Structure 1
Amino acid sequence: MSGPEAGWSRSERALAAGKLMLLWVALLWLLEVVDVLTGHALDGFGLSPRASSELVDVVPSAFIHFGFAHLAANTVPLLVLGFLAALAGLRRFLLVCALIIVVDGLGVWLVSPPHTNTAGASGLIFGLFGFLLVTGFVERRPLGVLAGLLIAATWGGSILAGLAPTQSGVSWQGHLLGLLAGVAAAFVFRRRAGGPAPSPRDAA
């Protein structure tokens, strides 16, 4: 780890990760309140496939939800998985999230069925799951491997259910693409033993 986080203690890193995820989720809830108060005007920031004008919504779509029930279902996994991923460093975490959101959003735009509108943090959640699942193996860190196994045991069942193409009203494509993007992020932003996380250019 490099930069200002290098000298942080474990408790300081945990506090920073917790604050970041609480602010992230608070933003999502604030946006949903605004959406409801404006007659769901923000739903237009969801992604409709293969329309060039929709490309500007690749990132915003990850912050918009279709109702409080949709958001509530994403809140706990985003908090937990985001917190765990952010413990290794906020800068790396934000880069991982950016890669997942962009790759997942572009994939949804490209492959989703016609006349659909896709939004929500679930693609990022699946991406963080994939990242945490494999990063310990990629970096050959025993504690990371153990953490990945525990995460798989805890969340694996719901993740597999979310990949089922038979679910109505669920973007299984977005879930699968997010998962794959998270696995890719574990390789792109892997840390070498005894050194900081490489930049995407260094890892190419």
Structure 2
Amino acid sequence: MSRRAAVVPVDAERMVAEARRAFFVVVGLLAVVWAVQVVNWGSGYELGREFAVVPGEVGRLPDVLVAPLLHWSWAHIESNSGPLFVFAFLAAYRGVARFLGLTVLVAVASGLTVWCLERANSGTVGASGLVFGYFGYVVVRGFFDRRLVDSLVGVVMGASYAYLLTLAVPGTPGVSWLGHLGGLVGGLLGGWVFRDRRKDRKEEGRNEKVRKEEDPEPAGRPRADLHRELRDLGLL
């Protein structure tokens, strides 16, 4: 067995396993959101009124963790579900534990922004703050982790969904733009907070040595970096 066979499949198998776990976690998240919507709808949206983020009310602060699971209507949840699945999976496939920490950070950032800055006597619920947070995280993750593949994913997603930013600017009618903006900031911050801090530098050094011996191009060139990322994914 070559040294390459001893190194690359381990990385690829680990990534595939994480992606599989991420898929089921995200599907589970959506299942919970829809189950909560059924209960909320059945109660005449009493859950939404009871657990919405209400600005300035100290007793409602814990609701910042619950409000993202609630929606005001079927149209509301339908509009959030597609983007939530896409960006949640892209945010989770590098590690489920990191994704769960990111989710808490984004929910708190989005909820606190609404709680501090939204007009009084209003209630805010919905998963759109999470959507914007995951979007921001996916866009910047590759920059902080220095992974070319993740950087390319971030560029593609940023270019494809740039219109989302128009829903996070002051005065956007019909939406909680403060929740969107807070979630986006939380996601960008999460890119730094949850950046890759691999502790086993010795193993990383050994893997890098093997890759350099097999790579005819010097490290640092874009093509060489891309080749290494594709090998990590098991595509080469």
Q: Do both share a fold (TM > 0.5)?
A: yes
Of 19, 23, 30 in structure 2, the residue corresponding to residue 18 of structure 1 is 23
| Per-residue deviation, residues 76-108 of structure 1 (Å, max 9, x unmatched) | 111011011110010011011111111221121
Q: Does 1:54 align with 2:65?
A: no
TM-score normalised by structure 1 residue count: 0.87
- Contact 2:15-2:94 within 8 A present in 1 as well: no
Q: Does 1:171 align with 2:176?
A: yes
> 1:195–1:149: structure 2 CA closer, same or farther, 3 Å change rule?
farther
Residue of structure 2 in register with 1:162 after alignment: 167
What is the number of equivalent residue pairs in this alignment? 190
Q: Does 1:182 align with 2:187?
A: yes
Q: For residue 55 of structure 2, what is the amino acid of its counterpart?
A: P
Residue of structure 2 in register with 1:85 after alignment: 91
- Contact 2:70-2:126 within 8 A present in 1 as well: yes
Distance 2:132 2:45 in 1: 25
* Structure 2, unpaired ranges of 5+: 1-10, 202-236
- Structure whose CA Rg is larger: 2
Aligned counterparts, 1:1-204, within 5 A: 9-44=14-49, 45-157=51-163, 159-192=164-197
Moved runs in structure 1, 4+ residues, more than 6 A?
A: none
TM-score normalised by structure 2 residue count: 0.76
Distance 1:109 1:79 in 2: 26
> Is the deviation greater in 66-75 or in 10-19?
10-19
Distance 2:75 2:190 in 1: 29
Q: CA RMSD in A?
A: 1.8
- Contact 1:139-1:193 within 8 A present in 2 as well: no
**SS at the partner of 1:95?**
helix
Please report how far the alpha carbon of residue 8 of structure 1 lies from its aligned counterpart in structure 2 after TM superposition: 5.1
- Contact 1:82-1:128 within 8 A present in 2 as well: yes
- Contact 2:169-2:181 within 8 A present in 1 as well: no
Residue of structure 2 in register with 1:202 after alignment: none
Distance 2:82 2:114 in 1: 23
**SS at the partner of 1:58?**
helix
Distance 1:84 1:195 in 2: 25
| Per-residue deviation, residues 149-168 of structure 1 (Å, max 9, x unmatched) | 011122111x1221233333
> 1:193–1:147: structure 2 CA closer, same or farther, 3 Å change rule?
farther
- Contact 2:140-2:154 within 8 A present in 1 as well: yes
Distance 1:49 1:73 in 2: 24
Distance 1:195 1:97 in 2: 26
Distance 2:169 2:158 in 1: 17
